[in-house]
Amino acid sequence: MPERPLARQFPTALVFALRNQARNRLAWILLAAFVPAWYGLMAALIPHDPLTYRLFSSGRLLRVDGRHLGLVTAGMNSLTLIVGFAVFAAIRRALPLDRRLVFAGYRQSLLVGAKALATAVVAVVVALYATVVLLAFWRPAAAGFAAVFAAFALMALEYGALGLLLGVLVKGDLEGFFLIIMGGLTDTFLQNPVGNPVANKPILQWFPSFGPMQFAGGGAFGGGPSWLGLGLGLAWAAAFAALALVVFQRRTRSRRHAHTSAGEPSSASRLTSAA
């Protein structure tokens, strides 16, 4: 039978990965209801009192509006939950079939690469939505809006990549959901100086949300965007995605000791006892 080039595998996997993500009804409901509700609650509870926020890249201490900072943290928080959960659920649901596809000849790197790109698309689109909804509660200047959007996208990328990793790693749904929810809550809470004595301490640099928060803080409240923050955020996302690739490779590998796949013609392939 004539063969189609290997390059067809990537677009096919990308389309189905996006489709899988889009079919998560609970994620759509959370986007429509939870994001505005969470912003609304923050806007209602947190006063406009000034707060001190440390920009680590320059060492500057910024005086910021507590409510505005609270809203940015709320947006980040909802993104960690929704993107992390949606990506995790889609990856986990598809894993048994992915294993079968790899066995049939799908190249693992193309399959997981397509999933990573789909995750990035979802992260950026959801981040844009969360930034637009934020406008109903706070109207930053254009540069501030752009910085918040970029920071939200960065945060969504990190937790999307974490969802990807947990989706191929953990055994049960509950472990994955628990890790995403607790991780996201703890991470974003620590970065927020509203009622949190740990905020502005150097230890925060070791948490995933540090980069996006610094980028948003610098860009939206004066002091200029933190390129260090951007780099750290991208590094976290890349590290999670790279780990996901390694785990995916291990969990979907064929045990047949051969250079051919089930779909390819081969003269003979051999399985000897396991090493």
Interface with another protein (CB under 8 A): 1-6, 8-9, 12-13, 16, 19-20, 23, 93-94, 96-97, 99-106, 254-256, 258, 262-274
CA pair distance 212, 216, nearest whole angstrom: 6
Min CB(263)–another protein separation in Å: 4
Phi, psi of 135 (to 5 degrees): -60, -25
Cβ closest to another protein, residue 28 vs residue 227: 28
Cβ closest to another protein, residue 96 vs residue 224: 96
Min CB(193)–another protein separation in Å: 42
CA pair distance 171, 169, nearest whole angstrom: 7
Give ∠ CA 73-76-82 in degrees, rounded to 5: 140
- Sign of the C-alpha dihedral computed for residues 153, 157, 159 and 160 taken in this order: positive
Cβ closest to another protein, residue 54 vs residue 99: 99
Min CB(271)–another protein separation in Å: 4
Min CB(24)–another protein separation in Å: 9
Contact at 8 Å (CB) between 203 and 186? no
How far is it between the farthest Cα atoms of the chain? 75
Min CB(259)–another protein separation in Å: 13
Min CB(20)–another protein separation in Å: 6
Give ∠ CA 133-162-76 in degrees, rounded to 5: 25
Cβ closest to another protein, residue 54 vs residue 256: 256
Which residues partner with 64 through β-bridges?
51
Cβ closest to another protein, residue 4 vs residue 171: 4
Cβ closest to another protein, residue 5 vs residue 202: 5
Phi, psi of 105 (to 5 degrees): 125, 0
CA pair distance 87, 135, nearest whole angstrom: 26
How crowded is residue 124: how many other Cβ atoms within 10 Å of its Cβ? 18
